[in-house]
């Protein structure tokens, strides 16, 4: 699948990408995650794939790896816009911010939110999870996931929420500076790594997942505002780990 198509899928904003004609999907009713694989032949991997995301990261499926390569973050450009695409709130990033891993450079395209969290750690869900979506020149994708635990108001989230459109399909400008985007990440950037998929249709596999071990904070009021805007939870249920192992 071409990178533009993959990015369009993981951005869960198909209605905002010209030329994309796929079945509508959602998180409730007959279009909820349990039905995704049957809504469109393009979504077959949602039910047939063996390396689907999200997963529950537990002691049973993790392997301690000596010298796990650190992710080289180089986020140096600002946000340009915020979109409510009906499935999430997505912050688009200007070109030029990257991570480097596996001797490959991935450009940060956008980050978006799920509440409650999609991935779990030791059986625990978190109030909210952010996905930082990156693409390499060859079309491969890498997602850095940050969990948000209950705590005080998050000033960066608060700033994004002030720009957050409350109607699906709306888009606003957002000049969130690079420093704030960096500050959304925990200072300790150790991580869990596994091979997975998009967590939205078409659920394409081959995505590198990096789940941060340390968390940021968000207030209950901020989570509530996001959930009210979405009108329902926007998390895909946990998928079978199967034979996969999580590196740490």
Q: 3-state SS of 118-129?
A: CCEECCECCCEE
Which tokens sit at 140? 């491969």
Count the Cβ atoms, other than its own, within 10 Å of residue 64. Answer: 7
Q: Which secondary structure element, helix H or strand E, spans residue 216, and what is its range? A: strand 216-218
CA distance 59 to 62: 5
Own/partner pairs, 206-209, CB within 8 angstroms, 24+ separation: 206/140, 206/141, 207/10, 207/53, 207/141, 207/142, 207/143, 208/101, 208/102, 208/140, 208/141, 208/142, 208/143, 209/53, 209/119, 209/142, 209/143, 209/145
DSSP string for 4-30: HHHHHHHTT-GGGSTT-------SSGG
For residue 118, give every residue at least 6 positions away whose Cβ sits within 8 Å of its Cβ, in sequence order, or none. Answer: 53, 54, 129, 145, 199, 235, 236
Q: Yes or no: say if 88 and 230 are a contact pair by the CB < 8 Å rule.
A: yes
The one catalytic residue in 35, 87, 228, 231 is 87
Is 232 annotated as catalytic?
Answer: no
Tell me phi and psi for residue 84, to 5 degrees.
-100, 105
Q: Which residues are catalytic?
A: 87
């Amino acid at each position: 699948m071409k990178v533009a198509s993959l990015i369009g899928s993981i951005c869960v904003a198909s209605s905002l990408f010209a030329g994309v004609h796929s079945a509508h999907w959602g998180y409730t009713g007959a279009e909820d995650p349990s039905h995704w694989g049957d809504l469109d032949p393009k979504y077959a991997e949602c039910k047939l794939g063996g390396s689907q995301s999200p997963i529950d990261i537990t002691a049973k499926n993790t392997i301690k790896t000596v010298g796990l390569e650190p992710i080289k973050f180089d986020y140096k450009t600002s946000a340009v816009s915020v979109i409510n695409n009906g499935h999430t709130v997505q912050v688009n990033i200007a070109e030029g911010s990257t991570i480097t891993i596996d001797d490959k450079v991935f450009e940060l395209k956008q980050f978006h939110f799920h509440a409650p969290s999609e991935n779990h750690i030791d059986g625990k869900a978190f109030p909210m999870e952010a996905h930082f979506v990156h693409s390499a020149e060859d079309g491969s994708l890498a997602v850095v996931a940050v969990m948000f635990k209950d705590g005080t108001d998050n000033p960066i989230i608060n700033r994004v929420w002030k720009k957050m459109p409350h109607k699906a399909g709306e888009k606003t400008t957002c000049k969130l500076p690079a420093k704030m985007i960096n500050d959304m990440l925990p200072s300790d950037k150790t991580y869990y790594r596994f091979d997975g998929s998009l967590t939205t249709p078409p659920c394409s596999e081959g995505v590198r997942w990096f789940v941060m071990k340390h968390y940021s904070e968000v207030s209950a009021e901020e989570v509530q505002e996001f959930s009210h805007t979405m009108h329902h939870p926007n998390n895909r249920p946990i998928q079978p780990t199967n034979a996969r192992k999580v590196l740490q």
